[in-house]
């Protein structure tokens, strides 16, 4: 009888273990974790404004990079979504400006930052630049002045021209003639008006009415259609100037 009772008790215990009712190995009350799913990663959005530190003008172009994500700057603003929360390095870059790098702490939802960028050119070179724009665009609309300035800056970043502002302005051809006539005729020495100075700043900030041109000329003054400038790729005419891109660009 005693053996039968022991056997019967053992059978019941075995059944309980197999069905999990005893709690042994089930994780209940055993101290073992029941949920092994990793915690979800929270993210936030970074909204930024980018301006010229000297003029305060918003940038028309540029790039912002953080946490492996890169977006374009448009209208002085950028927005980067789905950034993991925490501290990251933000880098903003644009031609003619020093890269701006800063640490940004991203929280949930929207985060805001203002970035002020410093131009790489010295005040002396910016003055020379403004004097060239003033001499080349007398009588032109403000848009036309900005277009002249922008086309000069486009040469600085183009592979076929010197890679410095001063080098582009002072460049001469194989015959010794300056690329810009005010260098040879002396009008480069006339102080720039405020409009030309403003046009330089707008062009630096990224406004480009020339649509990427690397040169310009006045068709009314170059009547010989065999002149090399007429053989270039015309882009847009603004006022008295026809803006072009070189055939070898």
Domain with residue 191: its CATH number is 1.10.10.2520
Q: Tell me what pLDDT residue 142 has.
A: 98
Q: Tell me what pLDDT residue 233 has.
A: 94
Within 10 angstroms of residue 61's Cβ, the number of other Cβ atoms is 16
Q: Minimal CA–CA distance to 87: which of 104, 102, 100? A: 104
Q: Tell me what pLDDT residue 246 has.
A: 84
Instruction: Split the chain (249 residues) into runs of 10 and give each run's mean pLDDT.
Output: 48 50 42 47 95 96 97 97 96 98 94 97 98 97 98 96 97 93 97 98 98 96 92 96 87
199 neighbors 149 (Cβ within 8 angstroms): yes
Bridging pattern class, strands 100-106 and 69-72:
unpaired
Q: Is 18 helix (H, G, I), strand (E, B) or coil?
A: helix
Degrees (nearest 5) of the Cα angle 187, 204, 132?
5
Retrieve residue 79's tokens. Answer: 């927005």
Residues whose CB is less than 8 angstroms from the CB of residue 100 and which lie 6 or more positions away in sequence, other chains included? 91, 92, 93, 115, 116, 117, 118
Shared-domain flag, residues 77 and 173: no
Please check whether residue 144 lies inside any domain of the structure. Answer: yes
Supply the DSSP symbol for 4: H
Shared-domain flag, residues 183 and 134: yes
Within 10 angstroms of residue 245's Cβ, the number of other Cβ atoms is 19
Residues whose CB is less than 8 angstroms from the CB of residue 92 and which lie 6 or more positions away in sequence, other chains included? 48, 50, 62, 63, 64, 65, 73, 99, 100, 101, 115, 117
Shared-domain flag, residues 68 and 142: no
Please check whether residue 23 lies inside any domain of the structure. Answer: no
Please check whether residue 151 lies inside any domain of the structure. Answer: yes
The total domain count for the chain is 2
Owner of token pair 């008006």: 193
Distances (CA, A) of 164 to 122, 156, 196: 11, 6, 20
Shared-domain flag, residues 110 and 182: no
Domain that holds residue 68: 43-117
Domain final position from 96, 117, 138 = 117
Domain final position from 94, 117, 140 = 117
Shared-domain flag, residues 50 and 134: no
Please check whether residue 19 lies inside any domain of the structure. Answer: no
Please check whether residue 26 lies inside any domain of the structure. Answer: no
Domain final position from 117, 148, 166 = 117
Shared-domain flag, residues 193 and 111: no
Shared-domain flag, residues 90 and 154: no
Please check whether residue 198 lies inside any domain of the structure. Answer: yes
**φ, ψ at 237 (rounded to 5°):** -105, 130
pTM over 0.85: no
Q: Tell me what pLDDT residue 247 has.
A: 77
Supply the DSSP symbol for 102: E
Shared-domain flag, residues 128 and 193: yes
Distances (CA, A) of 130 to 21, 38, 133, 195, 196: 87, 59, 5, 9, 6
CA distance 176 to 80: 49
**φ, ψ at 103 (rounded to 5°):** -85, 130
């Amino acid at each position: 009888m005693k053996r039968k009772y022991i056997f019967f008790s053992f059978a019941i215990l075995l059944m309980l273990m197999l069905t999990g009712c005893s709690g042994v190995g089930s994780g209940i009350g055993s101290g073992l974790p029941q949920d092994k799913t990793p915690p979800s990663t929270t993210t936030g959005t970074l909204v930024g404004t980018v301006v010229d530190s000297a003029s305060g003008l918003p940038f028309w172009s540029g790039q912002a990079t953080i946490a492996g994500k890169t977006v374009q700057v448009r209208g002085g603003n950028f927005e980067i979504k789905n950034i993991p929360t925490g501290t990251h390095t933000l880098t903003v870059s644009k031609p003619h400006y020093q890269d701006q790098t800063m640490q940004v702490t991203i929280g949930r939802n929207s985060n805001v930052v203002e970035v002020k960028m410093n131009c790489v050119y010295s005040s002396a070179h910016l003055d020379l630049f403004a004097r060239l724009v003033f001499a080349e665009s007398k009588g032109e609309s403000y848009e036309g002045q900005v277009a002249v300035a922008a086309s000069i800056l486009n040469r600085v970043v183009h592979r076929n021209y010197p890679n410095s502002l001063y080098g582009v302005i002072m460049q001469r051809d194989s015959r010794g003639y300056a690329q810009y006539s005010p260098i040879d005729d002396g009008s480069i020495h006339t102080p720039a008006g405020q409009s030309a100075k403003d046009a330089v700043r707008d062009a630096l900030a990224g406004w480009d009415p020339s649509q990427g041109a690397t040169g310009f000329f006045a068709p009314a003054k170059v009547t010989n259609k065999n002149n090399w400038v007429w053989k270039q790729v015309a882009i847009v005419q603004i006022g008295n100037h026809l803006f072009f891109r070189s055939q070898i660009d």
